[in-house]
Amino acid sequence: MSSHSGSSNGRVIPAAYPPPVDSQKEFVKRGLDGEDELIEVGVAIVGGGTAGLACANRLLQLLAEDPEMMERLGEVPVAVIEKAKTCGGHNLSGAVMRPEPLRELFGELSREDWRKEGFAFGEVTKESVYILPGAKTKLRIPPPPPQHNKGNEVVSVSALARYQQRVAEEAGAYILTETAATQLIVEDGRVVGVRSGDKGRGKDGEPLSNFEPGTDIKAQATVLAEGCWGHITGAAIREFDLAKDREPQVWELGVKEVWKVKRPLDRVIHTLAGWPLKISASYGQIGGSWMYPMKDEKTGDDLVSIGFIIDLDYADATTSAHDLLQEIKTHPLFRDVLEGGERVAWGAKALPAGGYWSMPKLSMPGAVLVGDAAGIMNLASLKGVHYAIKSGMLAAESIYAALKRGESSFENYEQVVEDSIIGKDMWEQRNTRQPFQKGLIRGGPLVNLMIATKGRFPGGRWALHRNDSKPMFIGKTKDSYPKPDGKYTFDKLSSVFISGNATRDDAPNHIRVRKHVPRELAETWRWMCPAGVYEIPEDGEGGDESGDVDVIVNYTNCVQCGAITAKGGRLTVPEGGDGPLYQIT
């Protein structure tokens, strides 16, 4: 595959510099601690995002009607383990959500109720899709079918999670916030729970004076809802070989801002490819942007959600989603809406983009996967919120049914997902990512063909290659990034600041990367990371010099987007409570 020197025609392949990590040894605990030390719960849900909480919400609805089953699940029937300070603190999405699954989950709520609760911001009535040929021009195109958004609702998953958390707590769930789940506990080939993270370790991992070790959480069923690049999910996939015969998973990175604007936007806008991306095969930049109107019922403010997404398969090390977002803001399409307004939020998150063939097996003995962690995502429209809710509900129903029947296997969940809208939609789009790995121009028409024929033509199964197997070179994308002025365009550090990130200075480093790597790889990380975590020391920043350089890792800036794991590093879970505190992303 890749040569030992990790380069291919003078380009550097990230996969040749694997981070110092042994997933199965470090992140899988074999056997539980003694009864006195551990905590026992009925169902443990790792991740308090849209999917995990939907699972909790649905489970508690079922248990409310079944006191005997509630009793059987013990003192703590449902526990949600969330590493942020509150559910929603680490959640981010566009998002224009299909309404049906949420209506299904909370039947008594109307869409007006959603907006009063503060997580929904209006129904989509108009939409436009553009390609931007250049910095000042735009070309309107008819929305491709999967992008029809009329009737959908603009939501904030961060705010939605907060709402779901309240509902879950009122229904009896224990929501353990500021708690990281660091290890999967496996006994006799079965997942029996997870272990929570230690607190009070110093920079080098040494226990400080207030060190508090983690605790084993024993559960009858475990739901992995960690979102994009789940830490334990990765270990589980290896341990139980859940990716066998699957295509590798690939990712996209999105950077988002929310703005308060002077005049309301009247429509949902998407741009596909085009400026400022370099779509040639050698640069391989695939992506697009969005701009959604948000009416905040609580404050009466007119807000706008904007963002830029880029497929992480690009080849130019200087590709930066954050800077591309700043660049696209200078286009009149955006400027006309945002000028005179004020940025009120910023954040970043990666999302799984491999589609059907990259989805791992969704169950293992003792546990199931839901949401982004399961790779569930509608590729053509990049929608995943409604699937997250749906998969969470289906997981709840499957687990409930299995436990009630005294069955130990949750494999039934897989079929249920396959038969649902999730399975149907994902099957239709199963090959819509792969052609893009050949570049937009060659791949584009094929993708359109597949979408138009609902996946029937060309059929079959197309292969994907891993994001970190792409050879990187130092190119020219950075040359057109705007200089941040601090009022309309922003630098990474001030953006991290408003994400609410206040990680303590002596926290241990949760990012695993090699510290001394070829310049091309170091530059890849430096530009890719939206939070400015990776820096190259300042001596001699010369043109196209090759050779190895040191990498400085400012891990306290990290907003845990997950992108590093796709391109040669490994994000592990920081101490519970660390990281951003998103509110309206």
Partner 1 sequence: MANILVYALHYDGAINKNSLGAVSEGAKLAAELGGEAHAILLGDNVPHDLAASLGNYGASKVLVAEGPEGLAQPLVDAMAAAIQGGGYSYALFGGGLLGFEIGAGLAARLGAGVVMEVTAVRAENGELIAERPILGDSAISEIKYRSQVGIIIGRLNAFEIRESGGGDAPVEQLSFELSSQAQQATMLTRGEQRGADVDIEGADILVAGGRGLGKAEGFQLAEDLAAAFGGNSAVAATRAVVDAGWYPYAAQIGQTGKTVAPKLYLAAGISGAIQHKVGMQASENIVAINKDANAPIFEFSDLGIVGDLNKILPKLTEAVKAKKGA
Partner 2 sequence: MKICVLVKEVPDAAVEKRIDPSTGRMDRGGEKNLNPYDTHAIEAAMQIKEGGTVPVEEIVAVTMGPDSAVRALHKAVSLGADRSVHLSDPAVAGSDVAATGYALAKTLERESPDLVLLGQQSDDGECYTIGAVVAEHLGMPSLTQVIKMDVEAEGGGGVGSGSLRCERQAEYGYDTVQIKLPAVISVGDAINEPRYPSLKAIMGAKKKPLDTVTAGDVQIDPAKVGGDNSAAQWVAAKAPPAKAAGMIIEDEDTGETVEKIVAWLDERKLI
The bridge status of strand 127-131 relative to strand 268-272 is parallel
Which residues inside 119-178 make contact with partner 2, applying CB under 8 A? 174, 176
Q: How is residue 541 written in tokens?
A: 């920043």
Per CB under 8 A, the segment of 23-31, 185-193, 252-260, 483-491 that binds partner 1 is 483-491
Q: Give the integer Cα–Cα distance in Å for 170 and 174.
A: 10
Burial 249-274 (b: 16+ CB within 10 A, else e): bbbbbbbbbbbbbeeebeebbbbbbb
**Which residues face 17 on adjacent strands?**
none
- Min CB(500)–partner 1 separation in Å: 11
Q: How far apart are CA 483 and CA 481, in angstroms?
A: 7
Partner whose footprint covers residue 483, from partner 1, partner 2, none (CB < 5 to 8 Å by kind): partner 1
Interface stretch with partner 1, choices 229-237, 325-333, 348-356, 500-508 (CB under 8 A): 500-508
- Residue 554 contact, options partner 2, partner 1, none, Cβ 5-8 Å cut-off depending on partner type: partner 1
Does 196 sit near partner 2 (CB under 8 A)?
Answer: yes
Distance CA 253, CA 271 (A): 16
Query: For residues 213 and 444, which CB has a smaller minimum distance to partner 2 in the complex?
Result: 213
Q: How many angstroms separate the CA atoms of 177 and 169, rounded?
A: 12
Tell me the closest approach of the beta carbon of residue 514 to partner 1, in angstroms: 20
Which one-letter DSSP state was computed for residue 267? S
3-state class (DSSP) for residue 512 = strand
Q: Is 42 in the site for partner 2 (CB under 8 A)?
A: no
Q: Which stretch binds partner 1 (CB under 8 A): 12-20, 187-195, 487-495, 513-521?
A: 487-495
**Share in percent of the chain as helix, strand, coil (round to 5):** 30, 25, 45
* Binding of partner 1 by 139 (CB under 8 A): no
493 binds partner 1 (CB under 8 A): yes
Q: Which is nearer to partner 1, 391 or 503 (CB)?
A: 503
Q: 505 is in the binding site of which of partner 2, partner 1, none (Cβ under 5 to 8 A by kind)?
A: partner 1
To the nearest whole angstrom, how small is the minimum distance from the Cβ of residue 316 to partner 1?
25
Alpha helices in 181-320 (DSSP H): 231-239
Q: Tell whether residue 497 is a contact of partner 1 (CB under 8 A).
A: yes
Does residue 179 belong to the site contacting partner 2 (CB under 8 A)?
A: yes
Shortest spacing between CB 32 and partner 2, in angstroms: 14
Beta-ladder partners of 253: 310, 350
Out of 122, 355, 392, 500, point to the residue binding partner 2 (CB under 8 A): 500
The closest of 328, 376, 109, 422 to 226, measured between CA atoms, is 376
Q: Are 303 and 296 in contact (CB under 8 A)?
A: yes
Q: Helix, strand or coil for residue 279?
A: coil
| Sole binder of partner 1 in the list 30, 262, 335, 504 (CB under 8 A) | 504
In the complex, the residues that contact partner 1 under the rule CB under 8 A are: 483, 486, 491, 493-494, 497, 502, 504-505, 554
